[in-house]
């Protein structure tokens, strides 16, 4: 079972993220306290890291740009992501398909 907070939302589902800007490479690093940990090489200034996070997630999950939105935590490392048109169950399956699961 994947240990991540995914909650239903009228437009899809909400996912907790832990952002790590300025990393050596852009990648998923598993889960931390119920949040998906996402590392990006961009620095956290003027929204560069947020744009890089959304781009990485769109490519990894095969989603359209309009399906992803950071709804809280724009300037913090803990963020809340809205994924439109995906149920919590489908989001969980996407995470598993990306190889993200607890050992």
Q: Is residue 45, in this structure, part of any structural domain at all?
A: yes
Reported as a single tens digit per residue, the pLDDT across 1-60 is 567 899 999 999 999 999 999 999 999 998 989 999 999 999 999 999 999 999 999 999
Find the domain containing 82 and state its range.
6-11+19-97
According to the model, what pLDDT value does residue 2 have?
66
**Mean pLDDT across the stretch 73-85?**
96
How many helices (H) and strands (E) the chain has is answered by: 2, 6
The predicted pLDDT at position 23 comes to 95
Q: Which one, of 97, 93, 66, lies nearest residue 82 by Cα?
A: 66
- At 7, phi and psi to the nearest 5? -120, 145
Q: What's the pLDDT score for residue 24?
A: 95
SS3 state of residue 84:
strand
Does some domain include residue 103? no
Distance in angstroms (rounded) separating the CA atoms of residues 94 and 25 = 21
The count of structural domains within the chain is: 1
Asked, for residue 102, whether it belongs to a domain, the answer is no
Residue 80 pLDDT > 50: yes
Residue 93 sits in a domain whose CATH number is: 3.30.1200.10
């Amino acid at each position: 079972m994947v240990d991540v907070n995914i909650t239903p939302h009228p437009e899809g589902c909400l996912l907790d993220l832990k952002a790590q800007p300025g990393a050596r490479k852009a990648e998923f690093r598993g889960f931390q306290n119920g949040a998906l940990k996402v590392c990006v090489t961009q620095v956290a200034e003027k929204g560069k890291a947020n744009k890089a996070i959304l781009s990485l997630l769109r490519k990894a999950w095969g989603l359209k740009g309009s399906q992803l939105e950071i709804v809280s935590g724009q300037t913090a490392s803990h963020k809340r992501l809205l994924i439109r048109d995906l149920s919590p169950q489908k989001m969980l399956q996407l995470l598993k398909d990306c190889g993200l699961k607890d050992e």
